[in-house]
Amino acid sequence: MKKIAFKTLGCRLNQYETDALASRFHTGSYQIVDFNDEADIYIVNTCTVTNQSDQKSRQTISQARKKKEDALVVVTGCMANNYKESLLESKAIDFVVDNERKASIYGIVEKHFRGEVADPEGFDKDVFNYEAAYKTFHTRSMIKIQDGCDNFCTFCIIPKVRGRATSRPAEEIYANIREVIQYGFKEIVLTGVNIGRYEDGDTDFEKLVENILEIPGDFRLRISSIEPDGFTHRFFELFAHPKLTPHLHLCLQSGAESVLLKMRRMYTAKQFRQMAEKLRSMYPDFNLTTDIIVGFPAESEAEFEQSVTMAKELSFSHIHTFKYSVRSGTRAERMSEQIGEKVKNQRSEVIRKLSEENKRNYYKSMVGKKQRMLVERIGGDGVARGYGENYIPIRLKAAGLVKNQFIDVEITGLHEAKELEVTAKVI
Amino acid sequence: MQNDNIHEIISIRHLTDSTYIIQMSRRGLKFRAGQHILLGKAGSIHNREYSVYSGEKDSYFEVLIKEVDDGMVSKQLKKLKAGDKVQIEGPLGFFTIEPELIEKEKFLFVATGTGIAPFHSFSRSYPEIDFLLLHGVRNANESYEKNHYPKERHILCTSGDKKGDFHGRVTEYIMKNRVSPDTHCYLCGNFNMIHEVFDLLEQQGVPPEQVHAEVYF
Ligand SMILES: Cc1cc2nc3c(=O)[nH]c(=O)nc-3n(C[C@H](O)[C@H](O)[C@H](O)COP(=O)(O)OP(=O)(O)OC[C@H]3O[C@@H](n4cnc5c(N)ncnc54)[C@H](O)[C@@H]3O)c2cc1C
Ligand code: SF4
């Protein structure tokens, strides 16, 4: 039996696609091993969203090659689209497979081992041709509903590497979800590049979510990461449904109107604030997390301070900070006044600290409150770990706990570890 | 290279020394007024965004381009001639008007320079639309086909000479002529103008969801 190892860099969508591939290889009688172990095939699903992701992707590729001289190294993901020519020249890589053909990797590998010429370009493009991953590395099941983006924010390379926005047919999504519920998954996470722009005939994003919530079964639905544009009141009302988790990763990027305009984002800081306040007024414990870019070209100290103020006032419980990095072919590449690394580091540190502080405050505010924990794993010490509906990491010590089970708990306090967690008791 | 996004130039109209209109074959490509395309010379890896200038029902595509002093693509495209080929990606973008609003609502269009392009497309695509267009330029010779708009709907704001309809910037015009809060406002062109007009409109009570912006640079 051939051994195969996977490494994913970057976003949830990449993670979903790796999981689906791994599942396909598993049913096809391959043995999945850890990326640090020796394998016959290494699949590296790359990311190119920042300079750092490029570097990490390159390191991972050479790591794979070093592990085993004669292993088959397959590189896919956004870097494969963005730097296809240079990757094709690399001796460390056997196949470069673009995002549009990622789902064909199983076919490519099979063909290769049958001794046939396996040219990735000869496989059809299909960004949704992934089977439901029942054997994933997680207990949550991600469901891909959309790919690509037409927003062309001036800093972002994604529209170039993921292509134009396209939506998966709604019926396929419902079928996929029914299937993973049957497999026993208890949490469904919608994923895509810009899922708010979902559109399949008359089914827009809100309608899609409404219909998913009507699917019978003991599961909950998480929207996760979404761009804050074009929400109607209906969107906010959706969260009244007990199956929809009160958590959104709503990408702010900057708190300064001027910077948002230069980024060509689709909302103003004021509109963002109104959305956040509306969510909190309707659902007081609502958990908001976000992305902030620091050091966008010409970002002044005053503009950066506006991001800080907004992050404080809207109390995001987690802020993913990106130091702006030039991506070739984007409009921001041609903007004057690029900001130096030192300033970017300082600004990033300010936001990182604030994020820690906000997280602590949010978790504290949840002490004494109820959560429905989904047990994801149980350690050797008998401590179960999982997330509540508000996406708070919970540790729970109790008898008779089973993995992949919902359990009603009350949050009792904070637990200091590498990552801050909360403790809880069964109610 | 794919051939299905290659379009042929029908003609180039030079409006000033630096500003020109490229008319090219449409090849059935659909778009909504206000959208833009990515345009470059055929075979070149460089392209830029340009708002579609022509109307939804025209048999051709047009874009209105100003040659930028240190620019790359705006210079390359200016050198092309009828019969040359260009490459188009798109149409793209969300700077469009919801169809149900077109006949019901009133609109304010505010442009600087070639930012007038999507408004030309709006007025050509929706002849019944109730709009007022403020076009900010330095000198009146940059009025770019003013005769294509109903006279009473087009206000040329010139900050350099006094040959326009209003002497001063578009922001000054708005300060002197309040915008009623039920207006749907579309702003297009340079960043500074858009940033200032956003603030002015807010002060004048226009709800933010009625303000749409397309920042060129
Ligand atoms: C959605 C969208 C639609 C656009 N539509 C149009 C359009 O209809 N007509 C049009 O002429 N342009 C339009 N632009 C601007 C256009 O895409 C290019 O930026 C412009 O033509 C310059 O490209 P370039 O390659 O010549 O210059 P570059 O080599 O890209 O830029 C050189 C420098 O000039 C600056 N610059 C860019 N544009 C201008 C400008 N107009 N005036 C002064 N400085 C500038 C840049 O910031 C840069 O520093 C649009 C931009 C966007 C984002
Ligand atoms: S919305 Fe903007 S940041 Fe998000 S993927 Fe699209 S272009 Fe990139």
Q: Are A278 and A231 in contact (CB under 8 A)?
A: no
Tokens of A35: 């990326």
- Which residues in chain B have Cβ-Cβ distances shorter than 8 Å to A156? none
> Cα separation of A40 and A22, whole Å?
14
From B94, B198, B209, residue closest to A257, measured CB to CB: B198
The predicted model gives B173-190 an average pLDDT of 97
pLDDT in tens, B71-102: 999 999 999 999 999 999 999 999 999 999 99
Q: Which atom of ligand 2 is nearest to the CA of A159?
A: 7
pLDDT for the residue numbered B33: 98
Ligand 1 mean position to B217 CA, how many Å?
6
Amino acid at A36: N
High-pLDDT (> 70) share of chain B, %: 99
- Which residues in chain B have Cβ-Cβ distances shorter than 8 Å to A268? 198, 208
pLDDT at B1 over 50: no
Q: Which helix (H) or strand (E) holds A82?
A: helix A78-82
Contacts of A56 by beta carbon, 8 Å cutoff, 6+ apart: A9, A47
pLDDT for the residue numbered A229: 84
pLDDT for the residue numbered B3: 54
Q: Are A329 and A372 in contact (CB under 8 A)?
A: no
Q: Is the CB of A151 under 6 A from ligand 2?
A: yes
Cβ-based interface (< 8 Å): residues of B facing A: 49, 92-94, 191, 194-195, 198, 202, 208-209, 213, 215
**pTM tops 0.80, yes or no:** yes
Q: Which atom of ligand 2 is nearest to the CA of A253?
A: 3
Distance from CA of A85 to the nearest CA of B (A): 14
Q: Which of B30, B36, B215 to mutate to test the interface with A (most CBs of A within 10 A)?
A: B215
> Cα separation of B36 and B96, whole Å?
10
Provide DSSP, A117-166: ---GGGSPP-TT-----SS-SSSEEEEE-EE------TT--HHHHH-S-E
Amino acid at A166: T
pLDDT for the residue numbered B2: 43
Tell me the ipTM for this assembly: 0.92
Closest-CA residue of chain B to A231? B209
- Which residues in chain A have Cβ-Cβ distances shorter than 8 Å to B213? 261
Mutate which of A191, A227, A265 for ligand 2? The one with the most ligand atoms within 8 Å of its CB, which is A227
Cβ-based interface (< 8 Å): residues of A facing B: 150-152, 257-258, 261-262, 264, 266, 268, 270-271, 331
pLDDT for the residue numbered A128: 86
pLDDT in tens, B20-75: 999 999 999 999 999 999 999 999 989 999 999 999 999 999 999 999 999 999 99
From A150, A262, A271, residue closest to B191, measured CB to CB: A262
Q: Is the CB of B67 under 6 A from ligand 1?
A: no
Provide DSSP, A356-408: HHHHHHHHHHTTT-EEEEEEEEE-TTSEEEEE-TT--EEEEE-TT--TT-EEE
Tokens of A336: 């004057």
pLDDT tens string, chain A, 427 residues long: the values are 899 999 999 998 999 899 889 989 988 889 999 999 999 999 999 999 998 999 999 999 999 999 998 999 999 999 999 999 899 999 899 999 999 999 999 999 999 999 988 889 888 888 888 776 665 556 788 999 999 999 999 999 999 999 999 999 999 999 999 999 998 899 999 999 999 999 999 999 999 999 999 999 999 999 989 999 878 899 999 999 999 999 999 999 999 999 999 999 999 999 999 999 999 999 999 999 999 999 999 999 999 999 999 999 999 999 999 999 999 889 999 998 999 999 999 999 999 999 999 999 999 999 999 999 999 999 988 899 999 999 999 999 998 899 999 999 999 999 998 899 999 999 9
Dihedral sign (CA A199, A202, A204, A208): negative
- Which residues in chain B have Cβ-Cβ distances shorter than 8 Å to A261? 191, 194-195, 198, 213, 215
CB contact under 8 A, B92 and A150: yes
Nearest CA to ligand 1 atom 53: B216
Q: Is the CB of A334 under 6 A from ligand 1?
A: yes
Q: Is the CB of B73 under 6 A from ligand 1?
A: yes
pLDDT in tens, A285-310: 999 999 999 999 999 999 999 999 99
Amino acid at B83: G
CB contact under 8 A, A271 and B209: yes
Q: Is the CB of A211 under 6 A from ligand 2?
A: no
pLDDT for the residue numbered A27: 84
pLDDT for the residue numbered B170: 98
Nearest CA to ligand 1 atom 35: B217
